[in-house]
A and B are shown apart, each in its own frame.
Chain A
Amino acid sequence: MATTTPRTKTFKSPAKTPTTNNIYRKSYQSPSLTPQTPQTITPLRRSARHVSRRIDLGNDPIDVPENESKEEMNLIRKRERAPPRKQSVDDVSESLKTPTKKTKVDSEVSFSPVSPNRREKRKNKSEEVKKTKTKKRVYYNRVEFDETGFEIGDDVYVKRREDANSDEEDPEIEDCKICFKSGGSDVMLECDDCLGGFHLKCLKPPLKDVPEGDWICQFCEVNKSGGGQSQTLVVPKPPEGKKLARTMREKLLSSDLWAARIEKLWKEVGDGVYWIRVRWYMIPEETVSGRQPHNLKRELYLTNDFADIEMDCVLRHCFVKCPKEFSKASNDGDDVFLCEYEYDVHWHSFKRLAELVDGDSDSDQEWNGRKEEEEIDDSDEEVEVEEDEESVVRGDSKGKRGLTSVKGGANSRKGRFFGLEKVGAKQIPEHVRCHKQTELEKAKATLLLATRPKSLPCRNREMEEITAFIKGSISDDQCLGRCMYIHGVPGTGKTISVLSVMKNLKAEVEAGNVNPYCFVEINGLKLASPENIYSVIYEALSGHRVGWKKALHSLNERFAEGKKIGKEDDKPCILLIDELDLLVTRNQSVLYNILDWPTKPNSKLIVLGIANTMDLPEKLLPRISSRMGIQRLCFGPYNHTQLQEIISTRLNGIDAFEKTAIEFASRKVAAISGDARRALEICRRAAEVADHRLKTNKTAKSQLVIMGDVEAAIQEMFQAPHIQVMKSVSKLSKIFLTAMVHELYKTGMAETTFDRVATTVSSICLTNGEAFPGWDILLKIGCDLGECRIILCEPGEKHRLQKLQLNFPSDDVAFALKENKDLPWLANYL
């Protein structure tokens, strides 16, 4: 999905819209001489078939051949205006000569979709519809509006707010993020992450050419990797007095603009106002799920939301492309977007677009040719959709339903007016924009294990060692193969350290300090069988998927004999194997092969193995440990100061935790395991507990996570659940347990028989005035407790002489049963 080449910013944008400024100029001020041809007048309620046929007849002036439309897609508008088209423009101007009141209302509606009294407006509009029924419309395939041609199927920016005019004098040329000068002759490079533009010469180090593959600017790089490097790059501030201009793309992505696809173009014959029916695009933030990590920056969703809007709202073209084209469109300027999925605004579901977007690039001829059938098909679909939709918004759709029935099935689409006002009505989901994340929520988000930290404190030494090892190996021309074994207890940052080292190395490769290499990362747990590692490696090197036997053969040729596979021929190869111990087979041949290759000349293979066990090499066959070499690196468990530092770096800038709370959590974890994952989980849980506490108890003065919350989280995590279970078992079970503890205490043995426990139960019951339940029930209770594994029963038949044993220390049982309201006398026996 990712673009293969970073796009270069070109400075076509001004050329694209030579009349950006007068796009808002009401164009009906220029009168025209050409009178309206009577043929073009169509009654409003014509079947779609009719309309399209009429378009096909050629009365419509536009007849765009394929290559021309392509050209248009590429934004090169150099064409001389053909005479027939002129006619259409003139149509516009002529018909707009006398604006009626009605259109003004309409335009208001469409201009301010988010205005609070939209309900009223909608009513207004639906009335409008009824009225306009009598009106006549002329449909076009292409309209020249303000010297820009708009066609069906084009994607356009649509004004969203009335006040969007305020920052109207858009410089359409994007400024360089470093020098804050636009344009020049220098090529601009776009960051794949923040979409900022950079002059090649402004970069550090300056680049000569546009690099291959993804390119991420230095700021994003630092933000992402953060890591062991102490360097911090400050994003340069714009020079004083210079307004930071936003391009339309930025506005769209911050939802100050809309993007839409033109579905239909028509002119109201009565007042001559040009209308378009648009299908909205949505930015990921506006969907119900918000922006997901997999969303690209330039990703949009095609919705099934339609609206009729006035042509005035249209700003200019943008280009929404399917992923395939998007990756190809490397030089198309700033207004290129990606759309891969369709979003259902009613059901909040996503669907992959199959051919829809491809349609855009098709010739108009084809589009028209297909149109007829499509229209019919579509309308059928639409009817269904509408019914679905009505069942959802049952309440306020009465008017619409009436309309539908009036219209009849064939072209029901036209009469529908859920559109602009709908989108306007749709609140942008709370959690995305309006709702400001509280500190606690931010803290919870950053403490998630899945969140990659910006920097890795406390592992500098290890990371330096890994970097030195890899660099030392690949910097030579010969690239002598080597192995390194990294071990340490879980949650000590082994994998993430290696990965961040690799990331830093990648940056150095791009800067040209280090030779390029190929990096293969394998997790032993993800392999179906240890042998599969061969095919995984082979696939990573050559791109072909083969069986492991063939892969082993080829890899042997590659590493042992120096033959080349794929295009990665003479690059050194770095192989990272996580959970190395899972590759140990019965005769350990997999490990042997992998560790034997680096000892071969010309192998250029560097193996990094990660596992928990410290003495894995010693457990292996001597021939393997001999080949594994002596490069070891140990990741020790974190101590409490380190854990504290890790948590506080993660929470950097978020004021959600009391310092003592963090310290408490880290000390507790450090005393038991030194596992950073644990510490983070405890803190996250503590934040949740605090969130709950603060929500239920509004009077709390401090909004911070306190020691008590951490304590509660630790209790949840470290305390075994058996106490809870014992507290909640039935009354008889409690008596049974008590009797058992008592019996064990009396005899001083580790185990007892059911027979004796039952006797004790009966005597206890007798003294405390409880009814003795009977042996059968008692036996059943014993079995139940045995199944909960609170007590351990001797396997085999359930009989009276069965041996029983407590699974937990008797202190735990005593602790669980002491505070008991129903049976206060139990404490006497414990």
Chain B
Amino acid sequence: MPAIAGPSSSPQKHVVGSRLEVTGGLRSAEVNTCRKRKLRSDSAAEVSSSTPVNSISTPMKWKSPRRCAVSIPKTSDEEIKEDSNGNLASPVISVVKNLDVCLDVESKWNPRDEEQMKAVKEALHVSKAPSTVVCREDEQRRVFEFVKGCMEQNKAGSLYICGCPGTGKSLSMEKVRQQAEDWAKQTGVPCLETVSVNCTSLTKSTDIFSKILGKNESGREANGSSPPLQQLQSLFSQKQQQSSSKMMLIIADEMDYLITRDRGVLHELFMLTTLPFSRCILIGVANAIDLADRFLPKLKSLNCKPLVVTFRAYSKEQILRILQERLVALPYVAFQSNALEICARKVSAASGDMRKALCVCRNALEILEIEARGSIDQEPQGPVPECQMVKMDHMLAALSKTFKSPVVDTIQSLPQHQQIIVCSAAKAFRGSKKDRTIAELNKLYLEICKSSTITPAGITEFTNMCTVLNDQGILKLSQARDDKLRRVSLRVDEADITFALKEIRFFRNCLL
């Protein structure tokens, strides 16, 4: 393993190194870092298990034998060894071959081809669910085991799934539902009814019971007299004849929308699983990690506290794997691997939100598209192969669009009087004081105006400007009965203001 490829080293370094060795080689970077190689082989194994044919065109083909074989089916292992045994002999040859393939691939990929572009965009879109959910096997397995266990024992149970947004909760639940249905069919367990509800789409939180009942009701006579909740309760508290003892899987997405003031609905929902003849498996999905503890302390005493499965935010390796997984189905390569990696690193550092990562990739792709179109305009013939793929700079542009803080730019583009207000606010909050009223701030503003002989704006105008600054996220105004008594606090760092305004001579004196 080369020394430079420590885990902490920046991806740019890899790029530089790889370019020195093999210019233009797409996959050359992976020779340098075996960490990467391992990564890649990981995902490639996944791929080859799902799509074993025509794997030459996919870059994932190139992998070392040292991949982690934990979750890989054995067949793929053999297959890959066969495929790549020539390359294993000497890394140099592998690089050369690698290059050939890359060139081959590159010739196929053309950002000006709208069909290809469309396919890539579609692959990167949020709505397109991949056939297998990678990096969530463990969680999926746990949930599925739970469901299976419940179904085998024919008893009720509840499960709570939490995790940050964009970590694949809903997607995994959908997969689990399919798995469970398939499994139920295979094993001949009395078939499973599934109800998946997104709680935001309910008009009223109690509607969830009628929704559950609505599925359950089919075939049974509807007694519309009693409310749905009571019907459900009576349904689960009496022993039913064998014919109707189906298990029911309820998946409630965004469960925290069910929280009412007295938490009645949520409570009743979980209580359904405790009834003596209940046959429902409840899976709740939400963001809060402690929803059950916070809102349903009673459940603990009743000993029906739901199991909790946590979906952690994606790490950079996982994001990279998912991105590659999505792109690998395409017969061409649109992204440089290090571009994907920097995207993964940035996103995982910021939030670990997969949706963001996909969005950034798409943005980068669009930047490339515009670039390619521009180059067509300049020189209609002779496509430049370098600009064909999404490279680091495209990705960096897309990332900076998303993650850069616009504060400095915003302050610099403010109208002058608003800049004076920001300046006076910076002065006002220099000390330990955290907030002031608008009247106090106005006084400071007037001082600055007077000292530089600028006609100050009136108090109403001043308040308006403060509101605008509040909208732009520079100041924070609190609500108050009287306009003049509203508290103001600064929401950006003073250093940012100083930096932004130091270009203007006028403010240099003010800020001192």
Mask of B287-301 contacts with A, CB within 8 angstroms, 1/0? 100000000000000
CA separation between A342 and B465, bound complex, in Å? 50
Contacts of B363 in A (CB 8 A): 630-631
Whether, in the assembled complex, B312 has its beta carbon less than 8 Å from a beta carbon of chain A, the answer is no
A626 partner residues in chain B, CB cutoff 8 A: 165-166, 351, 353, 355-356
Count of chain A residues with a beta carbon within 8 Å of a chain B beta carbon: 55
Q: With CB as the reference atom, state the residue of chain B lying closest to A674.
A: B415
Contact call A489/B121, Cβ cutoff below 8 A: no
- 14 more CB-based (< 8 A) A-B contacts, given A478-B118, A623-B287, A639-B413: A468-B370, A476-B122, A489-B471, A553-B201, A553-B203, A612-B471, A614-B406, A625-B165, A626-B353, A630-B356, A631-B359, A631-B363, A673-B417, A673-B465
* Chain B 386-407 interface 0/1 with A at a Cβ cutoff of 8 Å (1 = within): 0000000000000001100010
Q: Sort chain B's interface into a size bin.
A: 35 or more
Contact mask for chain B residues 456-478; partner A; CB cutoff 8 A; 1 contact, 0 none: 01111100110010011100000
Contact A613–B473 (Cβ < 8 Å): yes
Stretch at the interface among B13-21, B29-37, B124-132, B150-158: B124-132
A477 partner residues in chain B, CB cutoff 8 A: 118
Contact residues of A with B, CB < 8 Å? 468, 472, 476-478, 480-481, 489-490, 548-549, 552-553, 556, 560, 587, 589, 592-593, 596, 598-603, 612-615, 618, 621-623, 625-627, 629-631, 634, 636-637, 639, 670-674, 718-720, 807-809
A83 smallest CB distance to B (angstroms): 73
CA–CA, A601 to B122, complex, Å?
10
Chain A residues with Cβ under 8 A from B464's Cβ?
A: 673
With A480-B127, A589-B257, A671-B416 known as contacts, the answer to whether A629 contacts B203 (CB < 8 A) is: no
Q: Is the CB of A593 within 8 A of B201?
A: yes
Closest to A627 in B: B355
Kindly state whether residue B85 has any CB partner on chain A within 8 Å: no
How many whole Å from A347's CB to the nearest CB in chain B? 44
Are A599 and B459 in touch, CB under 8 angstroms? no
Asked if A720 and B126 make an inter-chain contact with CB atoms under 8 angstroms apart, the answer reads no
Q: Across the interface, do B359 and A629 meet the contact criterion of CB distance under 8 Å?
A: yes
- A-contacting residues, B153-169, CB 8 Å: 164-166
Asked if B410 CB lies within 8 Å of chain A CBs, one says yes
B200→A593 contact, CB < 8 A? yes
A622 touches B200 (CB 8 A): no
Q: What would be 27 A-B contacts, judged by CB atoms less than 8 Å apart?
A: A472-B366, A476-B118, A476-B121, A480-B127, A489-B468, A596-B200, A600-B127, A601-B128, A601-B129, A603-B127, A613-B471, A614-B472, A622-B287, A623-B254, A625-B165, A626-B165, A626-B356, A629-B359, A630-B356, A630-B360, A637-B415, A639-B413, A671-B417, A672-B457, A673-B415, A720-B460, A809-B446
- B203 x A552 contact (CB < 8 A): yes
B 404-441 to A, binary, CB cutoff 8 A, 1 in contact else 0? 00100010011111100000000000000000000000
A718-B457 contact, Cβ under 8 Å, with A478-B122, A630-B356, A673-B465: yes
Chain B residue, CB-CB nearest to A480: B125
Contact of B121 among A480, A618, A625, A670 (CB under 8 A): A480
* Complex alpha-carbon distance, A636 and B413, angstroms: 7
CB closest residue in chain B, given A587:
B257
* Complex Cα spacing A615 to B472, Å: 7
Nearest CB on B from A510, distance (A): 22
Which residues from B are CB-within-8-Å of A636?
A: 410, 413
Contact across chains for A637 and B201 when beta carbons are under 8 A apart: no
Least Cβ–Cβ distance between A536 and chain B, in angstroms: 16
Q: Is the CB of B287 within 8 A of A630?
A: no
Q: How far is the CA of A630 from the CA of B362 in the complex (A)?
A: 10
B80-117 to A contact mask, C-beta < 8 Å, 1/0? 00000000000000000000000000000000000000
Do the beta carbons of B468 and A673 come within 8 Å of each other? yes
Choose one: A614, A625, A718; the contact of B473 (CB below 8 Å): A614
**What chain B residues lie within 8 Å of A480 (beta carbons)?**
121-122, 125, 127
Give complex CA distance A602, B126 in Å: 12
The answer to whether B459 and A720 touch across the interface, beta carbons within 8 angstroms, is yes
**B402 and A672: CB pair below 8 A?**
no
Known: A601-B127, A623-B165. A672 touches B359 (CB 8 A): no
Contact between B200 and A718, CB atoms less than 8 A apart: no
Complex-state Cα separation, A809 to B447, whole angstroms: 12
In the complex, A673→B406 CA distance in Å? 19
Centre residue among A618, A627, A672, A718 by max chain B CB count within 10 A: A672
Which of chain A's residues have a CB closer than 8 A to the CB of B417?
Answer: 671-673
Q: Is B127's CB under 8 angstroms from A622's CB? A: no
List chain A residues, Cβ under 8 A from B164. 622
Q: Which residues of A contact B416 (CB under 8 A)?
A: 670-672
What separation, in Å, do the CA atoms of A108 and B257 have in the docked complex? 84
Chain A minimum-CB-distance residue to B363: A630
Contacts of B471 in A (CB 8 A): 489, 612-614
User: How far is it, in angstroms, between the C-alpha of A621 and the C-alpha of B286 when the chains are bound?
Assistant: 12
Instruction: Using A614-B471, A615-B473, A637-B413 as known contacts, say yes or no to A599 and B127 having CB atoms under 8 A apart.
Output: yes
Q: What 8 pairs between A and B have smallest CB-CB spacing?
A: A626-B165, A720-B458, A615-B473, A601-B127, A549-B203, A623-B165, A630-B402, A589-B200
Contact A592 B254 (CB under 8 A): yes
B370, B414, B472, most chain A CB atoms within 10 A: B472
Residues of B within 8 A of A596 (CB): 198, 200
Q: How far is the CB of A585 from chain B (nearest CB, A)?
A: 11
